[in-house]
Amino acid sequence: MFYYQNISQYQKQLFEGSISCLDAVEHYLSKINEHRDLNAFVQIYDVESRQRAISLDEKRKKGKTCGKLHGIVIALKDVICYKDHNISASSAILKNFNSIYSSTAVEKLLQEDAIIIGNCNCDEFAMGSTNENSVYGRVKNALDPAKVPGGSSGGSAVAVQAGLSMVSLGSDTGGSVRQPADFCGIVGMKPSYGTISRHGLIAYASSFDQIGIFSKNVEDAAKVLEVISGKDEYDSTVNQKKSENFSLGSNSKKYKIALFKNAMEHESLDHEIKKGIYDLSKNLKDDGHIVEEINFELIDFIVPAYYVLTTAEASANLSRYDGVRYGYRDTNNDEDLTTFYKRTRGNGFGKEVKKRIMLGSFVLSEGYYDAYFTKAQQVRNILVTQTKEIFKNFDALLLPTVPQTAFEAGRMQKDPIAMYLADIYTVYANLTGIPGISLPLFKHSNGMPFGAQVLTNKHNELTLLELSGLLLKDYKKY
Ligand code: GLN
């Protein structure tokens, strides 16, 4: 029977000849089929992934040089472009639209022999925390189908959680990889801003967006990151350094870790999650690491700053969906152009996206610009400065990923403010551009998993991954 543990173990079996890429693809296709009710996938590339598996099997048997991700079965979030494949950002405005080019991340995956099995459901244009804002309907959490998987990359998270792919890609603008990873009990990593090219990633808020990785272990995330990171002539914000080697050896380092006191004492934090993080810091101290609580007075400003800046960027980014250039258009063309735009955008976008476009237009409007947009930028600048100071003294920061565990579908829809506020622990990394990861270390008495979030200095993915490997190996609580 096919059993997947990690990339190395799988590839070892491939090269020994005990399994084939086709065995793996058949396994995942049947799992996807078995779990269709979870609604994790919006497209399944069955014919093509079988063909690719066969050609990879031939390549390996002929003794040709194989790529680093040889035979790895991966799923993409429906915002990551793959040439000649449907891409819709789970929105009616792009339904039936085919990518005319591949994102750099996809190009790199293919160059290293990965197999793309399909693309995954998400919140429309990556806006949301529950995967309920999708034109394809909600995604279900495989641990409890009545509950949400988190969002916006809910489908990609469930693909890994339910064993429908080995790893998957999502995007994280304010927590959309780390939060669903927390809700689903898997690893979710957002690299530093500028680590992975955004070329071919459908834009939500360009100064925040970053492709992220879901996996069942830290080693797999490191391997995928090594392949898809690195400079790219199509994205000038990418760190121009050569992509690093993230392979993880054995680790006996002692770390100096900070804990945000104000975050830990925040009223929204579930007491079991709080206890989990405090117990973890105590265990770390007992093992010779240093964990210190430090103040973080700006905690209550980060969610407002995030929503002001990201909606502003979204209102500009989404102006391209006008029904003229591509995507859905309202064909009743006997009216003037303005009415045509209004009808196309009014019918094409869902409620949450329209709300954010309006909010973003408002904060950018003359008369309100300084009161909202400029102020939020000031908060962002202060955060960046403070963060640089913190990492002069510490190797890493430890935080909860989300203040609560996964909740019932429909519950938060009635209270959008509460939903936005639940992003309190994840948006900080996107505002400052630092890397973050959610590690599945805990289980709540309500039966759902929850994670610990680790953050390190900008472009220090190596420390993030090394420390994460150690935490997942030695400090998992269930
Ligand atoms: N929950 C956040 C939001 O709705 C995160 C989105 C994201 O990271 N794409 O904006």
Chain segment 343-397, per-residue pLDDT in tens: 999 999 999 999 999 999 999 999 999 999 999 999 999 999 999 999 999 999 9
Closest Cα to atom 4, ligand 1: which residue? Answer: 128
Q: Which fold has domain 7-228?
A: Amidase signature (AS) enzymes (3.90.1300)
Atom of ligand 1 nearest to the CA of 171: 9
Backbone angles phi, psi at 391, to 5 degrees: -80, 0
Ligand 1 shell residues, CB under 6 Å:
126-129, 152, 171-176, 204, 310, 423
Task: Please tell me whether residue 356 adopts helix, strand or coil conformation.
Answer: helix
Could you tell me the pLDDT band of residue 245, with boundaries at 50, 70 and 90? Answer: confident
Task: Please give the Cα distance from 105 to 157 (Å, whole number).
Answer: 18
Atom of ligand 1 nearest to the CA of 208: 8
Please say if 445 is a catalytic residue: no
Phi-psi region of 450 (alpha: psi -120 to 50; beta: other; left: phi over 0): beta
Q: What pLDDT was estimated at residue 333?
A: 64
Q: Supply the DSSP symbol for 381.
A: H
Q: Could you report the per-residue pLDDT of 36-85, keeping only the tens digit for each? A: 999 999 999 999 999 999 999 999 999 999 999 999 999 999 999 999 99
Q: Could you report the per-residue pLDDT of 432-441, keeping only the tens digit for each? A: 999 999 999 9
For ligand 1, the distance from its centroid to the CA atom of residue 454, given in whole angstroms, is: 18
Q: What pLDDT was estimated at residue 334?
A: 65
For ligand 1, the distance from its centroid to the CA atom of residue 66, given in whole angstroms, is: 37
For ligand 1, the distance from its centroid to the CA atom of residue 111, given in whole angstroms, is: 30
Q: Where are the domains of the chain?
A: 7-228
Q: What pLDDT was estimated at residue 460?
A: 95
Q: Could you report the per-residue pLDDT of 298-349, keeping only the tens digit for each? A: 999 999 999 999 999 999 999 999 999 888 988 776 678 888 999 999 999 9
Q: Which one from 49, 77, 90, 438 is the annotated catalytic residue?
A: 77
Of 349, 316, 308, nearest to 330 (Cα)?
A: 349
Region 277-288: what's the mean pLDDT?
97
Q: Which one from 88, 90, 91, 152 is the annotated catalytic residue?
A: 152
Instruction: Say if residues 401 and 473 touch (Cβ distance below 8 Å).
Output: no
Could you give the percent of the chain with pLDDT greater than 70? 99
Tokens for 289, please give them.
């690491």
User: Which residues, 6 or more positions from 87, have their beta carbon under 8 angstroms from its beta carbon?
Assistant: 78, 79, 80, 81, 94, 97, 98, 99, 119, 202
Note the pTM of the prediction, 2 decimals. 0.97
Q: What pLDDT was estimated at residue 228?
A: 97
Please say if 176 is a catalytic residue: yes
Task: Please give the Cα distance from 343 to 444 (Å, whole number).
Answer: 46
Please say if 77 is a catalytic residue: yes
Q: Could you report the per-residue pLDDT of 419-432, keeping only the tens digit for each? A: 888 999 999 999 99
For ligand 1, the distance from its centroid to the CA atom of residue 295, given in whole angstroms, is: 25
Q: Which one from 20, 129, 156, 176 is the annotated catalytic residue?
A: 176
